[in-house]
Structure formats: structure tokens, C-alpha cells
A and B are shown apart, each in its own frame.
Chain A
């Protein structure tokens, strides 16, 4: 069954949707969308790193994303507004990564299809990639399920979490780590430029339909998985790039649920 590239692509897309859903909820609740963007863009630096040092791709991307997330966290609150800082970090990482990859490719270090890293190449996913994606999804789902109450309380109010005996800074660190994992496993499926879309759009699409945080995480997972499968189908039918097709379907779902929620609110 796994011999069919379409089946592998479908499994990869669903795996990324499941990994991104619970984490994406926290990204939305904590207003970290731009933080997710900066972390995702750092992945291209990881690609350069893996080329330069002949490292395997996933650990290199994981390391670069984590380093970026930690650097931005450490720099926050030192004179610049957070969105300025993230704007500088996100675009610098992307630009520097592209320059570094071009330099390395010029030297003949490797031939690579830059487009595959920027927009993903879901149809080229192999069995090893699938193992990485589903392993990463399992780690992220396990981490968020394990820390769920304290993550929720830290998100509501850090002092409230502290009074209940949790350490909000540790929870934040856990989220950062999970974010780096999602970036590393999603790069092959949707690419650097659209990872943040998979984090933010499915939870935002689920929001008008739900009344509790748990329902939102589950709704985001379902809508994300539907987007992945429908996007794959659309790209097959219309011969369009798969990653962007998945994101377009997710955006369509967002428009639909938001309109439906607005109508329901008016009645």
C-alpha cells in the first residue's frame, strides 16, 4: 500500500495536519503566529547547514528552528517591539538561508531543488520521511496532551499557572521545542513558506465551531486533515503545486466556517 506515492503523500499530509493542530491552537491563543513564521523561516538556514556540513536534513532543520526560537525568546523585551524583532528575524533567516544555499550549491556541494524546500514536495515523500513525520506528530501530540492543563493555564495567565504550582517559562520552552519539531517534519510536505499557514489556518477555521479548547484542537486536526486530503486531490486534478493547494483548501474552510459562525451569531 505504501508503494503508491499518492498514499504516501496522503499519509504525510494527514500526519503534518495532526502534528500542527494542537500546537497551532496555542500559536493562535498566544498570538504567536509571527513567532511561528520566524521559526519556520529559520528552517532554510537548517537546509544550508545540512548542505555545508553534510548533516542529515531533519536534525539540521530542527536545530536551526530551535536556535531561532530560543534566540527570539531571549531577545524579546530588550527595547524592540516583539513584532519588529520577529519581522527582522523571520526575513533575515529566510534571506540568509537562501543566500547560503545558493553559495553552497554554486560550489558544487550539492544540486538541490530550492523550490522543493520553499513550497514542499509532498509527492516525493518516502517511507523514511513518513516515519519521521508520524514520529514527530506522536511526540508533539504526546507533549501537548501531557502538559495540557498547565499549558492552558499558562496561556490564560502566567501568574495563575504559577499559583497552581506550574512553571509557565518551562511550558513556553516546551511549546518552542514542539514548534521546532513541527517545522522539521512539515518542511517536506508544505515547505518553509507555508508551514506557518498549516499552524494558524486550521485552528482559526475551527474556532467559530467550538466552545472549549479541547474541541478546538480536535476540530483543527480534522479540518487540517481534510485540507491535506482535499488539497492533494485538487492538485492531482488541476496539476497545481500540492503544498499551496493544501493551504488554499484550508483557507477556503476558514472562510466557510467564519461566514457560518457570523450567520449563526446574528440569528
Chain B
């Protein structure tokens, strides 16, 4: 088995004097898709930021493989109106690439005609695709996505995750993502981490969905997956099977 790309040992993080993460052990290896779920304020984004080295841990440590290339898609990227930035220029950060490569990247991302537009003028979905395209241009060994589908509608986020899976298949990079789109994400993941300041439970989507800790956070006592589907029904009206069989999560999407 290969060495982990990133490993966190006994990681604790304090922000403004508050303990946000406690005793987190985590590792991710090449080619894995790992999803972090958890309620708001449970430390999901903080874990991601600690893993890239943006936060100094109070205790424990983070070990990244030497020279690790990270493709990071932040939760939000507010570009100040005073900063002019075309899509083409943004894709050239941090490394200069040719126009052809930039156009190809946009083509792949499904937004071929944007290269000359200002970043500030893009719609939410276009912006997310450009962020992902830029992260992929770094030729990452690991792709880290923090709520990358925020602001996308359901077909939009489903397409986004299909693309992530395709990227993993084509490049073999690992994917670590934080998400709220629980059932879509669960279907795509090899491993799910359920967090609430610490890691409550961890394992394959099926194992986590039926774990009592997970149900305590997300479920309503009817079984994790089922509860999730009911939750989704509040937001969409295009489902015609109100009581899908638990455990077949990956068949209903894509």
C-alpha cells in the first residue's frame, strides 16, 4: 500500500480560544474519494484548512507527502470589485499556461466561451466550474473541495460530482470534499467521515449511514439514508418514488 498523501495525527485546533477540532486522526491515499459530512460549525472546513497548512494546530501534527500538489477549491472566493481579473488570467495562477491549455481546460469544464469574461461577472455555477478548472491545471495529486456545490441547483451539483468522479478516473488523484449534498456525495465516495468537532464515525457510505452516531446527527430515527431522502424531498419536486429502499443510494442519482 502506498504512503498517505496527507496524514493528520491527534490533531486539535483552537480558533479564538474555542476548541474546534479535537483529537482527529485522518489519512487519505492516492485515488481515494473521501467525503466529510457534519452539521454547521462541526469543524469540516477547519479540518480542510489545517490539512493544507493554513491553520497551525494547537496539538498534534499534519504530515503532507513531500512536494504534494494540492488543487484547492475554497468555499467562497470573493473577488474585490477593484481587482480586474479575466477568466483566462485566473487560470494562469499561479503558473503561466498557454492560451490553448486554458481554452482546453474551460472546454473540459463545460464552459468553453468564458475565457475573456471578468470573474466578477460569472454566475455561481460558471464560477465554481472555473475554480475547479484552475485547481485541475495545478495537476493535483489531491483535489480538495470545500462545499464546492454551494449555490448550484440539484442537476448542477450532480453534474459537478460526475465530473469529479471522471477526474479521479482519468488522473487517479485523490479527492477530499466537504459537502452538504449528502446523498449525492455518499454515492460517489469510497469513505465518509462524519464529524462534529471530532470524528464521530467513519467508513463506507453504507456503514456510516447506518451508524448510530450518524443518525444522532442527521437521522430522525427512521434509519440514516431514509431520513436523508426525506430531507431532500423538502427541496425538490421531481422525485416520483417517495420511499426509496435504503442502501440503494447510488442508483437514484446520476
Closest chain-A Cβ to B238's Cβ sits at a distance in Å of 35
Q: Is the C-beta of B37 less than 8 angstroms from some C-beta in chain A?
A: no
Q: How far is the CA of A134 from the CA of B168 in the complex (A)?
A: 52
Report yes or no: A163 in contact with B84, Cβ–Cβ below 8 A: no
Q: How far is the CA of A204 from the CA of B93 in the complex (A)?
A: 23
User: Quick one: which of B34-71 are within 8 Å of A by CB?
Assistant: 49, 52-54, 70-71
Interface residues of chain A: helix, strand, loop or mixed (majority): helix
Q: Given A158-B54, A160-B72, answer yes or no on A166-B94 (Cβ-Cβ < 8 Å).
A: yes
- Option from A155, A160, A215 in Cβ contact (under 8 Å) with B74: A160
Stretch at the interface among B75-83, B97-105, B196-204, B229-237: B75-83
Name the residue in A28, A152, A210 with the highest tally of chain B Cβ atoms < 10 Å from its Cβ: A152
Report yes or no: A215 in contact with B52, Cβ–Cβ below 8 A: no
Residue of B nearest to A215 (CB): B84
Ranked nearest first, the 10 interchain pairs of A and B with the lowest CB-CB distance are: A163-B72, A149-B94, A162-B54, A163-B70, A29-B83, A163-B52, A212-B89, A159-B54, A164-B94, A28-B82
- Option from B72, B79, B94, B95 in Cβ contact (under 8 Å) with A159: B72
Q: Is the C-beta of A100 less than 8 angstroms from some C-beta in chain B?
A: no
Report yes or no: B82 in contact with A149, Cβ–Cβ below 8 A: no
- Option from A28, A152, A158, A215 in Cβ contact (under 8 Å) with B93: A152
Report yes or no: A211 in contact with B84, Cβ–Cβ below 8 A: yes
Residue of B nearest to A161 (CB): B94
What 20 additional pairs, Cβ within 8 angstroms, besides A29-B83, A30-B80, A163-B70? A28-B82, A150-B94, A156-B77, A156-B93, A157-B77, A159-B74, A160-B74, A161-B94, A162-B54, A163-B71, A163-B72, A164-B72, A164-B93, A203-B82, A204-B82, A207-B82, A210-B84, A212-B85, A213-B85, A213-B89
Per-residue contact bits, chain A 134-172, to B (CB 8 Å; 1 contact, 0 not): 000000000000000110110111111111101000000
Q: Is the C-beta of A216 less than 8 angstroms from some C-beta in chain B?
A: yes
Report yes or no: A156 in contact with B72, Cβ–Cβ below 8 A: no
Q: How far is the CA of A164 from the CA of B70 in the complex (A)?
A: 6
Report yes or no: A155 in contact with B84, Cβ–Cβ below 8 A: no
Closest chain-A Cβ to B192's Cβ sits at a distance in Å of 23
User: Quick one: which of A79-138 are within 8 Å of B by CB?
Assistant: none
Per-residue contact bits, chain B 85-123, to A (CB 8 Å; 1 contact, 0 not): 110010001110000000000000000000000100000
Residue of B nearest to A204 (CB): B82
Residue of A nearest to B71 (CB): A163
Q: Is the C-beta of B144 less than 8 angstroms from some C-beta in chain A?
A: yes
Which chain B positions have C-beta within 8 A of A210? 84
Which chain A positions have C-beta within 8 A of B70? 163-164
Q: How far is the CA of A110 from the CA of B217 in the complex (A)?
A: 73
Interface residues of B (CB under 8 A from A): 49, 52-54, 70-72, 74, 77, 79-80, 82-86, 89, 93-95, 118, 138, 144
Q: How far is the CA of A153 from the CA of B77 in the complex (A)?
A: 11
Q: How far is the CA of A207 from the CA of B94 in the complex (A)?
A: 22
Report yes or no: A153 in contact with B144, Cβ–Cβ below 8 A: no
Report yes or no: B82 in contact with A153, Cβ–Cβ below 8 A: no
- Option from A160, A204, A216 in Cβ contact (under 8 Å) with B84: A216
A-B contacts, 27 of them at CB < 8 A, read: A29-B80, A29-B83, A31-B80, A149-B94, A149-B95, A152-B93, A152-B94, A156-B79, A156-B83, A157-B74, A157-B77, A160-B74, A162-B52, A162-B53, A163-B52, A163-B54, A163-B70, A163-B144, A164-B70, A166-B94, A203-B82, A204-B82, A211-B118, A212-B85, A212-B89, A213-B83, A213-B85
Which chain B positions have C-beta within 8 A of A157? 74, 77
Which chain B positions have C-beta within 8 A of A160? 72, 74, 77
Q: How far is the CA of A238 from the CA of B224 in the complex (A)?
A: 80
Report yes or no: A207 in contact with B84, Cβ–Cβ below 8 A: yes
Closest chain-B Cβ to A184's Cβ sits at a distance in Å of 26
Residue of B nearest to A150 (CB): B94
- Option from A149, A159, A211 in Cβ contact (under 8 Å) with B52: A159
Closest chain-B Cβ to A140's Cβ sits at a distance in Å of 19
Which chain A positions have C-beta within 8 A of B138? 164
Residue of A nearest to B116 (CB): A211
Which chain B positions have C-beta within 8 A of A203? 82
Closest chain-A Cβ to B226's Cβ sits at a distance in Å of 36
Report yes or no: A153 in contact with B74, Cβ–Cβ below 8 A: no
Q: How far is the CA of A175 from the CA of B238 in the complex (A)?
A: 53
Residue of B nearest to A209 (CB): B84
Closest chain-A Cβ to B57's Cβ sits at a distance in Å of 14
Name the residue in A150, A160, A166, A213 with the highest tally of chain B Cβ atoms < 10 Å from its Cβ: A160
Q: How far is the CA of A146 from the CA of B225 in the complex (A)?
A: 52
Per-residue contact bits, chain A 196-222, to B (CB 8 Å; 1 contact, 0 not): 000000011001001111111000000
Name the residue in B53, B83, B95, B118 with the highest tally of chain A Cβ atoms < 10 Å from its Cβ: B83
Q: Given A29-B80, A207-B82, A213-B89, answer yes or no on A153-B94 (Cβ-Cβ < 8 Å).
A: yes
